[in-house]
Each structure stands twice: as structure tokens, then as C-alpha cells.
Structure 1
Amino acid sequence: MRTLLRLCIIVALACAPAFAPSAALAAGGPRVLVLTTGNEAEDVAGFAIERLQMEARRWNFTLVEGEPADLEDLDDVDVVMFLNTGADLLDEAQQASLHSFITRGGGFVATNAAAASEPGWAFYQEMLGATALTPPVEPASEQEVAFNAGSPITDGLDEDLKVTERWYYFDPEPAQPDSTILAQLGSGDPVAWNSERYNVFYASPGGAGKTWGDRDFLQLIRQGIWWAAGEEGVLLQNSDDAAPEWPYTWTFALFVVAVAGGGSIAVWRLDKDEARRESEEREPARAGV
């Protein structure tokens, strides 16, 4: 009976994590619809999504990959993200839906080529607060990006970031009071900013895969997503390391079996030792009889 009770306790302890809600599910972070439609570098887009999925698991937001058609119903979306998207990807219905979403307080995040995604749609340039010049014709070059303090989007980004990109330039450039510059090159050209009229954030880097592997750049993007979603609280990390992207069923089952198996062996040894001691204690009594 004691053995059975001990085994039950071991299994219960091993299974406890499966029944406790994760921090992400308990807190219910923002839901982000990300589009990469028209992206010229699919390998970069794929790596960027992989990194963002890791950020989402770690920092309590949900990333959902989508297509332009998904913009027609944004009722369950907090932020729309254009990740290096190509030009002219939206039809009139999708533009109207996104326009309504932004003007009623929805968040929008864009990176790199997305600045030039809708050149013929005036509202797109209005919400970005700038108009991109023709796509970069200069080769990629390493530039130093300096962050400006005072915004939750750049909080904790104290050191300059060296990034190799094909840089976008703008005319007109974002400017106060409609935009707040968050980062710029040594030349003074802005490379990241947020709108003061809408929940819109843009970062020019992101066209190179290496950029998405930089921790500071990922911090800028996740804090930009959090800000665009209208979240005022501090970002809460779910764990020290992002969980890998695999089904947990078999991993958990093996974990339970290992714990229960090791525990049962330990219990068996304890019972065996206890039985031996009881037997040894009874021997003198029998000898006295």
C-alpha cells in the first residue's frame, strides 16, 4: 500500500506541469497577423518568421502567418505586420479593411521593403508618416544604428547596433509632430520610428537574414509589436529560453515514464531496505523466545 501511494505521488508531481496553464495562455497576449507576400528573399522571410515565432513563445504574443485575403476579417487581430512585403499586394477591399482597422486603433508593424508596399495608396504613406524612395540600388553596406531613449520601443537598447543592409531612404522623411524617430544612421537618416497619430511602427532593417539573428534587433521588433498592440504593461518573459517548435506529447510522455520509472526503482529499494531492517529487528526477538 505504501509503495502504491508513493508511486501515485511521483506520477502526480511529474504530471503537474501538463495541467498548469502556461504564462502565455494565462495572460492572453496580443495576436499578430504577419504577411510576407511578395517578399523577394524567401529564405530571409522564412528565417525571420522562425525567429519571431521564438520571440512570440518567449514574450507572450501569438504570431499567425497569413495572406492579403486574411485582412478582410481582422476582428481577432491586434497587430498586422508587413514583413518585407512586395509592392501592390492589396486590392480595394483589403485596403478598406486595413484602413478601418488602423483608424479604430489597430496596430501595424512594418519592416524593410514594406515601406514601399503600397505606393499608389495615399493612406499607406500617411499612416507610415513617410514615403520610400525607389527600392535600394546601392549594394548592402554596414552602418551603425543609434537608438533614441525615451520610448518603450527602444527601452533597454543602449548600445549602437551595426547592421549590414541595403538601406531605404525617404522623401518626405518622418518628422515631428506626426512621427517620433527611434533610431537613425550616423548620417542622420531615420531607420525606425513610430506614428503619433496611429499605432504604427516601422523599422528599415530586416532585409538581410543576419539582421533577424541579432538580439537587439529582435528586441526592437518585439517591443514595437507590444507598443503597436496598445500594451502598456512591461513585457513579461515566459521562460529563460524559448521553447523549441515541436509537439510536446511524446516529450512529456517520455518525461513522465522516466520520472515514474526512476521513482518506482527508488521506492522498491526503500521498501526492500525497510523490509530487511524489520526482518533484522524480528530476529533477536525470535532468538529470545
Structure 2
Amino acid sequence: MKCLPRFMLCFVVLLCACQATPQTKSILVFTKTEGFRHKAIEPAVAALTQSTPRYGYQLVVTENASDFNPQNLSRYATVMFLLTTGDVLDEQQQHAFENYISNGGSFVGVHSATDTEKRWPWYGQLVGARFIGHPNHPNVREGLVHPDGHPHPSIEFLPDPWLKEDEWYELEYLNPAIQALLWVDETSYKRSDENAKQSLRPLAWELSIGKGRVFYTALGHTAESYQDPLFLQHLWGGIIAVNQPPVPQ
């Protein structure tokens, strides 16, 4: 077998490098709010940006809904709704996002992503649930979280139970296809006068919508969460998972 001349070999390597574009590991991090605005947004963006080199991804952070157009979305492997709230996209932008997911784009939702676009049925199926409320006085409490137990990059390193301080969402589950990854024990954080409806309920999950893959975690309300190595690894594990080929059933 003949060897390629050195200049030809350099050309081939350069060509391959150009074809292996960084877009395959680019994430559009969307932080727009039209309702409650979490103080954790800026610490969350800072922590994710700081940890990005470790995982080999590129982040583009935006609050500009006009970025949801076909040409721009095609640059990203993943769209993350990071602590978004309210109605953040117009009808044309919604349509572009639906097509992005249908064509194989992936989605990561964090905490109040379930308190976003609550009147958009397709989005409810995408994120899997809708925010109803949370305990108050105080709204942030310690609770016990249980990993589901099967191998998954977002949970396989977590202790069981995981004692976590956060704001514990009450959710209306909209998509029966969700595959739970974390469960929270309501009795571990609700007072006796708050009547926990069930002891365990899904807190984080994955699902597929057409060709698109989805990861959602209800954790992440507090700024301190983004200084917690376990939570950050949980979040990055979800990002990694939605960028992997689906496991055959």
C-alpha cells in the first residue's frame, strides 16, 4: 500500500478537521424570563461556562428569542432552557424550535423550564411536565433524592439517598413517556401540615420526541446548586446523554 505524500496527508487531516465542525458540541443556553427571574441565572451561567472545557462543549448564552430561527438553531446540537419562565417565544420562533427537535436536535430543561410556555401543548410534551407550585415558608428546604438505579451519566455517581437543598416543585406530569432518573421523597421535606400526596415522585427524567432527545431536571433553583459538584455533574450528565445515540430498546 502506497503512503500519501506528506502535503497530501496534511490536506486530508485539515479537511477532516474542518468537517468535524464544533457545532456538533455547541449548546444554545436560553435564559429569557417573562415571569419570575431566578437570582441563580448568572451563577449558573458562570459555573457552566467555567466547567465547559472539561466536557468539550461550547456554550452560547442568549436571552434573544430571535435566535430561534432555522438557520441559527441548525448550528447547535442542544438547546438548554436554563431557568426560563413565562411565554418566551412567538409563534414563528415556536415553529422553528419544533422543527429543530423534529430534525434531531436535543433539549435540556432546568428547574423552571416547566414554568415556561405553559400554554403551548407541544412544549408541554417536550419538557414532560408543568409547574404547579412549591412549598413556602421556607421555599428552599432539604430533601432526600433517590437515583433510579440504572446506568445513566446524570445519576450513576450519586449517593442514594442524596440529601439536597433546593426548591421542590410540584408538577403536573404531561407526557407518559418520561423515563424517571431521579425521585424525590415528598415526606422528607414536607411538614406534617402540608400533606404529602405521595412519598416518591419523578424529579428528573429523559424522553424522546421524534428524533430529538430530552433531559429535564427540576433541581437548580439556588445559586448554591451551581457550586455543588454533584449537581453540576448531574446536569452535565444530562447534556452528555442527549448527545449520545439512543440505546436500542
Please tell me the TM-score bracket, short chain as reference: 0.7 to 0.9
Aligned residue type for 1:189 = R
Secondary structure of the structure 2 residue equivalent to 1:223: helix
Cα deviation for residue 173 of structure 1 reads: 5.8
Aligned equivalent of 2:142: 142
Structure 2 gap ranges (5+) = 1-19, 186-198
1:36 pairs with 2:31: yes
CA distance in 2, matches of 1:155, 1:200: 18
Structure 2 SS opposite 1:132: strand
Query: What is the aligned partner in structure 1 of residue 113 from structure 2?
Result: 114
User: What amino acid does structure 1 have at the position aligned with 2:49?
Assistant: Q
Counterpart CA distance in 1 for 2:129 and 2:65 is 22
Amino acid in structure 1 at the alignment position of 2:161: D
State the partner residue of 2:240. Answer: 226
Higher-Rg member (1/2): 1
Aligned residues: 204
Structure 1 residues 153 and 164 mapped into 2: Cα distance closer, same or farther (>3 Å)?
Answer: closer
Unaligned runs of at least 5 residues, structure 1: 1-25, 233-289
Following superposition, the deviation at residue 123 of structure 1 comes to 0.2
TM-score (norm 1): 0.65
Q: Distance in 2 between matches of 1:201 and 1:127?
A: 9
Relative to 1, partners in 2 of residues 1:173 and 1:191: Cα closer, same or farther, differing over 3 Å?
Answer: farther
Aligned residue in 1 for 2:194: none
Q: Measured at CA, do residues 167 and 42 of structure 1 come closer, stay the same or move farther in structure 2, by a change above 3 Å?
A: closer
Distance change >3 Å, CA 142–CA 51, structure 1 → 2: same
Secondary structure at the aligned position of 1:131 is classed as: strand
Is the 8 Å Cα contact of residues 82 and 114 (structure 1) preserved in structure 2? yes
What letter corresponds to residue 158 of structure 2 in structure 1? L
What residue in structure 2 maps to residue 19 of structure 1?
none
Residue 192 of structure 1 contacts residue 203 of structure 1 at CA under 8 Å; is this kept in 2?
yes
| 1:57 maps to 2:53 | yes
Matched, 1:99 2:98: yes
In structure 2, relative to structure 1, the CA distance for the partners of 1:27 and 1:146 (3 Å cut) is farther
State the AA in 2 paired with 1:170: L
- 1:182-261 matches, within 5 Å, as 182-186=181-185, 187-197=199-209, 198-230=212-244
Q: What is the CA deviation profile of residues 94-147 of structure 1, one whole-angstrom value per residue up to 9, with x for unaligned ones?
A: 1001101111111100111111200110001111222322x4352222111111
Aligned equivalent of 1:280: none
Following the alignment from structure 1 to structure 2, what is the Cα–Cα distance between the partners of residues 165 and 173? 23
- Contact 2:38-2:83 at 8 Å conserved across structures: no
Residue matched to 1:47: 43
- The 1-side partners of 2:140 and 2:83 are apart by 16
3-state DSSP class of the match of 2:183?
strand
Structure 2 Cα separation of the partners of residues 43 and 131 of structure 1: 21
SS at match of 1:171: strand
Q: TM-score, normalised by structure 2?
A: 0.75
Local SS of the residue matching 2:68: helix
| Change over 3 Å in CA distance of 1:31–1:201 after alignment to 2 | same
Shift, 1:43, TM fit: 3.7
**How far does residue 27 in structure 1 lie from its aligned partner after superposition?**
9.0
- In 2: Cα distance, 1:194 partner to 1:171 partner: 16
For 2:157, the equivalent position in structure 1 comes to 156
| Contact 2:125/2:174 (<8 A) preserved | no
Q: Deviations over 1:41-81 (max 9, x none)?
A: 45411100111012211111111101221111201111000
Aligned 8 A contact 1:86 1:113 in 2: yes
Change (3 A) 1:221 1:231: farther
Where 2:173 maps in the other structure, the secondary structure is: coil
Q: For residue 188 of structure 1, what is the amino acid of its counterpart?
A: L
Letter in 2 for 1:136: H
Cα-Cα RMSD: 2.1
Q: Higher helix fraction: Structure 1 or Structure 2?
A: 1
Match of 1:70 among 67, 71, 89: 67
Q: How far apart, CA to CA, are the structure 2 residues paired with 1:54 and 1:160?
A: 28
CA contact (8 A) 2:78 2:106 kept: yes
Match of 1:286 in 2: none
